[in-house]
Chain A
């Protein structure tokens, strides 16, 4: 089969303009498909780090806007299978103005726990100590620090909303790792700024289990403990918790899938049209090939493999383009998008789609050409 590849290649550059246009058209569309699929994977199939697989999030059963009393944390820590509990609150607030680049997530956390429970965030030991010592200290992720030019020792002022007033923090630590696009401040400091009646409430608990097998058991046990309390809880894996934010964006899955479907179908149409054109032009040649002794099957294979060569070339072009765009996208300060990659599965699907398009678009015209009797084919006029 491979010995005919040069033939297919030569044929495909015969009408250079058409081949180029088809290749570009397929390439551009497959680029879109690869990008959309990578987005889908970034949203729904993030790789779970081994540390993340051990973590659970406990929130109020009604919704994240409801807080739970602090003693829940102590209670959870006593359950078998629980290694560590870190209390967290959504801080909200405004940094400088409402511009999107200044709008990064901010959490108040237990300073001595957060880097133990999130070991994938790397932070220099000295900086970590500074963060744990000083009550108005803040820590930010590397991606934010780079983007906004934050330096250690710098003052960061946040205007609070849920926690009213102006809060000034000193940047003491910069951590680096997956999903590090956030700012951390200290819970104990924030508590003191609150009136007495508002103190002692926790937005959600990050819980680390001692081993993977105990994760589901711990989750069930936590919800069971608080089943009859005024504030019931909902415990889910950190991954499921993150997925609920995707669901918040709306029907992302539906949007991505319907666009991808439309794109794939469009390329199929486009390349089918071109292939039909190029085969039709060549019916006479098919007659010649057959006279030389090529069987119908061989002729069919030749024509189809030419289409596959073009489609695959388009697929490779599209994948490379998508790779470039995703590299740029992954630097954008957006949750889920930041650090996104093109998974091998997407490369596989895209090239698979290219192969399929090559076959599906050429099989019908090629069949009709290959089946034509020699004499009729030879007589055929362009």
Chain B
């Protein structure tokens, strides 16, 4: 025979303050975990949505990022000569790009930080048309010192708005438009024309990387091989998607911190839940005796107290979900260890994450409830009844 659930529920409600405080402790533990998970998920989502499945990114061999790579215009010509590229309006889809960083002030703080600046051609914009849309002003014009900023960049950094000047290398540029990059990594970048930026950044005529769209998956593999085999080039091509996926490693330190904090806080909360449950058992010694005399088995008593602890933890878990939900969509920024600039992202609190949070709370509840429940189940009913 099972002790009815309402018995546990009522017992928790009778001790309102104790229940609320213990549950709140568990809730804060879970909420901190959810916050960190949400940050990581946002960061990963941003990198996962960046890149096209048929895009290849060409770097100088050995370069780990666009920033440390350099490609000469002659090499770009050799690359153009390779087949297997998709065409748009009779033009091959290939975009030589220049990437550098600007040190800009962060809004609402006295800090400055690095922002990715990308020089590209109209083809480069076209190749990202699925994720990038102009929302204000206009695109930069050829041969002009003009820039267009991502929405994330405009919202995060000081003095990034249409009409504002920005110093790149030795020249003054003007921001003429704002584009939306959705959740992609481009949203936090500032774009301009590749030749103009290359000149003013003192790179002569060289580029950082070349973006290519292959006609199909087979030609993508062929192009990677062809670039590797070409003795004239010391370049290597990788799928664009892989490059951005690798950047999720930037979240690694935060992941470790998150795991550490979650475990330590959970241990603290388990002790607290244990305390509450031991107290509950001690106060109800006679009640438990009565239950035993009525014929409830040791096992059902054990089960009942574990359930009560679980219920307590689930209150906490549910509360944590309510605490964490408002963070969904909040803007965050983190250092990108690959590009040496800031990655902008939005917190993502997903249903799976909430489920994981509730499960985490349940685990804490189970651990916290097991030992006290054992004490309750082992009590001798006669002695328990005699107790005051």
Contacts and interface: CB of A to CB of B under 8 A. Distances in A.
A347 B333 CA distance: 31
Nearest to A160: B62
Most buried by B among A62, A249, A262: A62
B24 interface: yes
Given A28-B268, A161-B69, A259 B100 contact: no
Contact of B169 (A62, A98, A381): A62
Interface string B185-215: 0000000000000000110100000000000
Given A31-B264, A230-B170, A244-B111, A161 B60 contact: yes
B261 A66 contact: no
Given A28-B268, A248-B113, A273 B335 contact: no
Given A161-B60, A270-B22, A64 B103 contact: yes
A251 B257 CA distance: 14
Interface stretch (B29-37, B146-154, B225-233, B353-361): B29-37
A21 interface: yes
A25 interface: yes
Contacts of B25: 266, 269-270, 273
A105 interface: no
B18 A259 contact: no
A65 B22 CA distance: 51
B102 A266 contact: no
Interface residues of B, number: 61
B28 A266 contact: yes
B290 interface: no
B322 interface: no
A258 B35 contact: yes
A230 B340 CA distance: 24
Interface in A253-285: 255, 258-259, 262-263, 265-267, 269-270, 272-274, 276-277
B267 A28 contact: yes
Given A161-B62, A161-B63, A244-B112, A62 B278 contact: no
Contacts of B18: 273, 276-277
Interface in B27-63: 28-29, 31-32, 35, 60-63
A234 B112 CA distance: 12
Contacts of B167: 61-62, 232
A258 B103 CA distance: 27
A159 B29 contact: no
A177 to B, nearest CB: 25
Contacts of A65: 67, 100-101, 114, 340
A262 B264 contact: no
B78 interface: no
A63 B103 contact: yes
Most buried by B among A21, A234, A273, A382: A273
A63 B32 contact: no
B132 interface: no
B320 to A, nearest CB: 11
Contacts of B17: 273, 276
A66 B274 contact: no
Given A21-B274, A66-B201, A272 B21 contact: yes
Contacts of A92: 64, 68
Contacts of B169: 62, 66, 230-231
Nearest to B368: A21
Contacts, number: 165
A241 to B, nearest CB: 11
A230 B172 CA distance: 11
Nearest to A250: B334
A29 interface: yes
A21 B267 CA distance: 11
Given A161-B64, A230-B170, A259 B261 contact: yes
A26 B267 CA distance: 10
A285 B159 CA distance: 68
Interface in B4-34: 17-18, 21-22, 24-25, 28-29, 31-32
Contacts of B68: 92, 161-162
A30 B335 CA distance: 29
B62 A266 contact: no
Nearest to A231: B170
Nearest to B17: A276
Interface residues of A, number: 57
Nearest to A66: B169
Interface in B285-323: none
B275 A274 contact: yes
A67 to B, nearest CB: 8
A67 B170 CA distance: 11
Contacts of A31: 264
Contacts of B335: 248-250
A18 interface: yes
B234 A164 contact: yes
B245 interface: no
A197 interface: yes
B265 A263 contact: yes
Contacts of A232: 167, 170
A66 B264 contact: no
Most buried by B among A22, A65, A67: A65
A266 B271 CA distance: 12
Contacts of A270: 21-22, 25, 268-269, 271-272, 275
B143 interface: no
A219 interface: no
A214 interface: no
A64 B101 CA distance: 8
A24 interface: yes
Interface in A164-183: 164
Interface in A355-376: none
B31 A262 contact: yes
Interface in A28-80: 28-29, 31-32, 36, 61-67
12 contacts: A24-B271, A25-B271, A26-B268, A29-B268, A32-B268, A63-B103, A66-B201, A159-B62, A160-B62, A232-B167, A266-B265, A273-B21
Given A263-B261, A277-B275, 15 more contacts: A21-B275, A26-B268, A28-B264, A62-B167, A63-B103, A65-B67, A65-B114, A93-B62, A160-B62, A161-B68, A162-B70, A232-B170, A267-B268, A269-B25, A273-B21
Which 9 pairs show the lowest CB-CB distances between chains A and B? A25-B271, A230-B170, A250-B334, A161-B68, A247-B111, A270-B272, A63-B103, A161-B63, A248-B335
